[in-house]
Each structure stands twice: as structure tokens, then as C-alpha cells.
Amino acid sequence: RKEVEQDPGPFNVPEGATVAFNCTYSNSASQSFFWYRQDCRKEPKLLMSVYSSGNEDGRFTAQLNRASQYISLLIRDSKLSDSATYLCVVQRKRGGKSTFGDGTTLTVKP
Amino acid sequence: GAGVSQSPSNKVTEKGKDVELRCDPISGHTALYWYRQSLGQGLEFLIYFQGNSAPDKSGLPSDRFSAERTGGSVSTLTIQRTQQEDSAVYLCASSLGWAGGSTDTQYFGPGTRLTVL
């Protein structure tokens, strides 16, 4: 079993839709969690960290469920510019080695 | 400030040749990662350096691959006797590592696109 697993998609949604991605992790002792975004033929960039209490940044909401060992990313009011691959990242120890999921591809259509 | 830089940006080589890829991390970042990514695929972890600790080499696909990090800064990934399946984009990332704590962010370089003919 992979340490970090994501549904690869693709998710194809119309503009304005709400879409959610989940990511599961295998090590219950993992401590830090992140979502990164990767545009086609570009390097990944941090989208947001995921905090235990959940956190929101504009149209993006991240949640952590330690009991079920998954994190989620919710995107509201999707824009064409949200089309990208979203990568889930897990760290076993704060500031330690990070493990990336394979990513979920989102395409937002007009 | 300056981000992570990688060189060369593109490298075309013939099968069987050795190649060296360079990564200049952000100054002060103690953690450095190498990944590779084939077209349409996810990131494949190769190696992780953290400060003066022994590197985590668990992702290196074969003994043809090696990496070093000199003086805790610049890193070089070497691929010996390249094969066509080595063709991919090689990405380097750096982060504050232990100093970054729960907000430890990886900053990626633009990558080196390696093509083995």
C-alpha cells in the first residue's frame, strides 16, 4: 500500500461547481499535511497547509480527519484557472521527509 | 529572494553516457529533495538530504543513480550509463526542514528535462 493515496481523477467540472478531493495516508503517526498545486509542465507549488482544526483560504477549504487518516480539499465556485493537478503531501515528523501523492487532476470547463 | 535553481534546463544525451544535474537550493534551507517526473505521471521520490544526517536514498531506482550535497548547499544528481527509460523531468526542491516545523514548505526548481536518445 502506498504511503499516500489519491484518486487520480480526472475530475471534469463546469465553472462555478464545488469539487472535493480526498487523500488517505497510511502512517497514523504522520504529523504535517499539505496540498500543492501543479500546472501542466510546471513545478509544484504550495497551495495550503492543512491544520488539525481545518482551515480556509478564500474558495479553498482543507480538512484533516486523523481518525480515518485522510485529508480533503474543497474548492468552491470553481474557476477555469483552477484547472491543475492537486498533490497531497504528508510528513511523518514536522519538518521531516515529505511524501507526495500521485495527484488528482482537475479540469474546469466553461 | 532567489528561488531554487537547476541546471541545465534541458539535457539531451546518448544512451550509455553519464550526466550530471545540478541544484542550487534556497540559502539557509537544510532539506533538499530530488524527484523525477515522467510525462503525465506523479512525482517519483529519489533522494532526501536533511542537514548533516545520512541521506535517505530509498528512492534511487538503481545503482546508476547517485547524489551528493556539498557543504550542505549545492547538490548534484549523477546518472551513469543512461538508459532511455531515464528520460524524464528531474525536479529539485528545498525547504527549511526541521526549522520549518509544521509549516515546512518545499520550494521547487524549474526542473531539468533529460532526454536519452
Rounded to the nearest angstrom, the minimum Cα separation between B20 and chain A is 20
With helix as H, strand as E and coil as C, how does chain A read? Answer: CCCEEECCCCEEEECCCCEEEEEEECCCCCCEEEEEEECCCCCCEEEEEECCCCEEECCEEEEEECCCCEEEEEECCCCHHHCEEEEEEEECCCCCCEEECCCEEEEEEC
Neighboring chain B residues of A43 at a CB cutoff of 8 Å:
91, 108-111
**Rounded CA separation A26/A32 (Å):** 13
Q: Is residue B90 a contact partner of residue B105, using CB atoms and an 8 Å limit?
A: no
List residues of A whose CB lies inside 8 A of any B CB: 31-32, 34, 36, 43-46, 49, 87, 89, 91, 94-103
CA distance B112 to B95: 19
Cβ pair A103:B56 closer than 8 A:
no
Q: Which chain B residue shows the shortest CA-CA distance from A47?
A: B105
Helix/strand/coil (H, E, C) string of B3-71?
Answer: CCEEECCEEEECCCCCEEEEEECCCCCCEEEEEEECCCCCCEEEEEEECCCCCECCCCCCCCEEEEEHH
Torsion region of B15: left, alpha or beta (phi above 0 gives left; psi -120 to 50 gives alpha): beta
Can you give the pLDDT at residue B71?
A: 81
Element (H, E) at B92: strand B88-95
Q: Which of B106, B109, B111 sits opposite A98 (nearest CB)?
A: B106
Given CB atoms, is B87 within the 8 Å cutoff of chain A?
A: no
- Which is more confidently placed, B51 or B104? B51
**In the predicted model, is pLDDT for residue B67 greater than 70?**
yes
**What span, in angstroms and rounded, lies between the C-alpha atoms of B15 and B85?**
10
CB contact under 8 A, A103 and B42: yes
Q: Under an 8 A CB cutoff, do B106 and A46 touch? A: yes
Mean pLDDT for the stretch of residues B26-55: 92
| Interface with chain A: mutation pick from B4, B30, B43, highest number of A CBs within 10 Å | B43
Check CB contact under 8 Å for B109 and A87: no
- Summarised one tens digit per residue, pLDDT across range A94-108 is 777 889 999 999 999
What would the mean pLDDT of B42-54 be, rounded to a whole number?
Answer: 91
Residue listed under C-alpha cell 504535517: A32
Q: What is the pLDDT of residue A92?
A: 84
pLDDT at residue B106 greater than cutoff 80 = yes
Task: In whole angstroms, give the CA distance from residue A92 to residue A98.
Answer: 7
Phi, psi of B40 (to 5 degrees): 80, 5
What confidence score (pLDDT) does residue B1 get?
A: 60
Instruction: List pLDDT tens digits, range A67-91.
Output: 999 999 999 999 999 999 999 999 8
